[in-house]
Amino acid sequence: MTYKDTVKKYYKDSGIAFTQEELDSIEYADFGLGNIETEGLNLIIYVNNDRYCAKEMVLLPGQTCPEHRHPRRGKNLEIEGKQETFRVRKGKVFLYVEGEENTSEISARIPKESQAYYTIRHEIVLSAGEQYTIAPDTKHWFQAADGGAIVSEFSSPSDDASDIFTNPNIQR
C-alpha cells in the first residue's frame, strides 16, 4: 500500500464521513524535509477564511508535526497569530507546548535527523475525546502515538506562510 493509500485508509476508517472531493484534496505536507513518514502531516481543510479555519488531520504512527509557532502577521503585525484547538477523534497524541518541563522523559520519539529543532518539553497527552487550545505565538509540536491519530483542528484563520518553524530547513 502506498503512503497516500495508507493516509486515505486512516480517514476512511476514522468513523467520520468524508466526501470523495475531500479525500481527493488531502494535503500531504512533508515540510520540504523529504521524510514525510517521520515529519509530516496530512490534512483535509474544510474551511479557511478571514474569520475561522477547520481541518481534519491524520498522523500516522509516530508521525510528527515539527516545532513551530503562529506569530502576529500582516503588514504592521496588526493581525494576531493563530489560536488553535486540537481535539483528538481517534488514537493518542503527544503535544508539546511552551511551559515548564513537566516530565523527566517525554513520551514522543524525537526524529533523529532533526533532534536539535525540538526544544519544547511541556507534555500534554491527548486521547480520543480530549482537546487542548494553544494560544497564539506559542511554540508547539506534536506526534501521534504508535496507533496513529485523527485530530480535528478548530482555529482562527490559518496562514501557513507566516508560521515560524524552529528548523530553518522547513519550507511550507
> Per residue in 58-68, pLDDT tens?
999 999 999 99
What's the rounded Cα separation, in Å, for the pair 86 and 93? 10
pLDDT in tens, 3-57: 999 999 999 999 999 999 999 999 999 999 999 999 999 999 999 999 999 999 9
pLDDT at residue 75 tops 90: no
Tell how many helices (H) and how many strands (E) occur in the chain.
2, 9
**Cα(156)–Cα(81) distance, integer angstroms:** 8
Go through 59-85 and write b for each residue having 16 or more CB atoms within 10 A of its CB, e for each that does not: bbebbbbbbbbbbebeeeeebebbebe
Q: Is the pTM of this model over 0.85?
A: yes
84 touches 133 (CB < 8 A): yes
137: alpha, beta or left, given left = phi > 0 and alpha = psi -120 to 50? left
108-156 pLDDT per residue, tens = 999 998 999 999 999 999 999 999 999 999 999 999 999 999 999 999 9
pLDDT level of residue 163 (50, 70, 90 thresholds) = very high
Rounded distance between C-alpha atoms, residue 105 and residue 115, angstroms: 15
In the block, cell 502577521 appears at: 73
Superfamily of domain 3-165: Jelly Rolls (2.60.120.10)
Name the 3-class secondary structure at 21: helix
